[in-house]
Structure 1
Amino acid sequence: MTLNCIAVDDEPLALGLICSFIEQTPFLKLAGSFSSGIKALEALHEHSIDLIFLDIQMPDLTGIQLARTLESKPGSAKPRVIFTTAFNNYAIEGYKVDALDYLLKPYDYEEFLKAANKARAYAEMLQSKQLAPDHEEYIFLKIEYQLVRVAIKDIVYIEGLKDYAKIHLINEVKPLLSLITLKSLEEKLPPRLFMRIHRSFIIALEKIDAITKNTVQIGGTNITIGDQYKDAMKQFLSNWL
């Protein structure tokens, strides 16, 4: 698998370094290099790009701002971002724009290759998922800059916390915390197995122990059924009563 890449950095030496690293990496193809985010945007509209090595602090348009504008094109996934920066205080911002990784300047080829391999692994995972669209055994979630495979059968319920989700699993005391909205996670899960019963909760239907008028009991946890979700729950129950 070859990833089409662009490099974006307003510092000529830094831009030259990242381009040389890309060119010596067999599975990366350099499709362009740019000294500003605005110029990079033009290229992103015209070409299919898989991966962007992106400086954060740039005039006119910062790397964070550019990353927020990225969208997927028909037939292809959204370009993924690896940030390059001289500052180590952008982790949260990187999470919020779903960056794969970030390289702290000055970095060497070994560090670069580690980040690039992470991008290749992500692309291969997406490709395998596209080849098997009906596969419902597991999903991948981003946990602390890693893509963690989570077995769908192990999910008990999911709690939404603004931009994060807490995934409660069977036989696990501590839930997984992933930077993903509940809405996005709901779209990843098979609807025949999961139901959203509250603006902050998705439950695994087969894990339900008891249901009252206003709550669902799963193990030792009682979860309130939100008013706007009660009709869906009634419809679910009508199939079994």
Structure 2
Amino acid sequence: MKLNCITVDDEPLALNLISAFVEQTPFLDLKGRFGNAVQALQALHEQTIHLIFLDIQMPDLNGMELARVISQSGASLQTRIVFTTAYNQFAVEGYKVDALDYLLKPFGYDEFLRAASKAKKYFEVLQENGVGEVAENYMFVKADYKHIRVDFDAITHVESVKDYVKIHLMPPFSPVVTLSSLKSIEEKLPQTRFLRIHRSFIVAVSKVDSVSKNSVQLGPVEIPVGELYKDAFKTLLARWI
């Protein structure tokens, strides 16, 4: 199995070194190298990435904040992080966001290979246990005269607006609007992870923050439960009662 990787570090020398380590490792495939976490976040939305070698102290969005975004989006099962930093005080925080490993700068190729091999073993175990392939973790929809990939992990809810469907995504991504029916989109979504609770709404179950008698809350958004979908809503409630 070959793992798709990106490297993220605001120091050019460190970025060059870690990228060179990735390129000389047969089971790793370098898909991008970035000087800041904001660019890396966009890359994660555009392609399948298994492993991120991520610096922590960076301007704008730091590595720990990026890790929290990944964890909160539900993508941490399919995208794992190895932190690379010169500061050992971040080790505890790294494990709180479920980092796969932690490399303290300066490190050599032997230490890098140990962390990379740990990642390889992790994804091999996923395959052996029958966890769905990453290729099944997204769909393509037509928008802006092109087909756009939408990761299931990034979706918060899907909304029908007249002849269009608006697919709402985790921040900082903007919604994707496609000329389609809600039923057509519903058929593309995994039934175990998404639930239609209204004629105009489908919700990602993992993104639901709270439920009340006739609605669900996803962050600042409250979505009503339609009469025709009361049974489906009861199924959702049963997961927490």
Whole-Å separation in 2 of the counterparts to 1:131 and 1:46: 22
Partner of 1:43: 43
Q: Trace 1:146-225 onto structure 2 (pairs within 5 A).
A: none
Runs of 4+, deviation exceeding 4 Å: none
- For normalisation by structure 1, the TM-score amounts to 0.52
Please say if 1:94 is aligned against 2:100.
no
Whole-Å separation in 2 of the counterparts to 1:131 and 1:125: 9
| Structure 1 residue 4, shift from structure 2 partner | 0.1
Please say if 1:109 is aligned against 2:109.
yes
| Corresponding residue SS for 1:61 | coil
- For normalisation by structure 2, the TM-score amounts to 0.52
Q: Contact 1:36/1:61 (CA < 8 Å) preserved in 2?
A: yes
Q: Trace 1:17-96 onto structure 2 (pairs within 5 A).
A: 17-70=17-70, 71-72=73-74, 77-96=77-96
Partner of 2:3: 3
Instruction: Name the larger-Rg structure.
Output: 1
Q: Contact 1:5/1:32 (CA < 8 Å) preserved in 2?
A: yes
Alignment-mate amino acid for residue 35 of structure 1? G
Q: Percent identity?
A: 62
| Corresponding residue SS for 1:93 | helix
| Corresponding residue SS for 1:89 | helix
| Corresponding residue SS for 2:106 | coil
Partner of 2:121: 121
| Structure 1 residue 92, shift from structure 2 partner | 1.2
C-alpha RMSD over aligned residues: 1.8
Partner of 1:183: none
| Structure 1 residue 72, shift from structure 2 partner | 4.8
| Corresponding residue SS for 1:25 | coil
Whole-Å separation in 2 of the counterparts to 1:78 and 1:131: 10
1:44-79 per-residue CA deviation (whole Å, 9 max, x = no partner) reads 000000000000000001100001111356xx9431
Alignment-mate amino acid for residue 55 of structure 2? D
Alignment-mate amino acid for residue 98 of structure 1? D
Whole-Å separation in 2 of the counterparts to 1:72 and 1:59: 25
| Corresponding residue SS for 1:106 | coil
Structure 2: 5+ residue stretches without partners: 133-240
Whole-Å separation in 2 of the counterparts to 1:19 and 1:72: 26
1:66-111 per-residue CA deviation (whole Å, 9 max, x = no partner) reads 01111356xx943100000001111111111000101100000000
Alignment-mate amino acid for residue 8 of structure 1? V
Whole-Å separation in 1 of the counterparts to 2:77 and 2:87: 29
Whole-Å separation in 1 of the counterparts to 2:130 and 2:119: 17
Count of residue pairs the alignment pairs up: 131
| Corresponding residue SS for 1:90 | helix
Distance verdict in 2 for CA 1:131–1:11, change over 3 Å? closer
1:10-51 per-residue CA deviation (whole Å, 9 max, x = no partner) reads 000000000000000000000000000000000000000000
Q: Contact 1:72/1:79 (CA < 8 Å) preserved in 2?
A: no
| Structure 1 residue 131, shift from structure 2 partner | 6.2
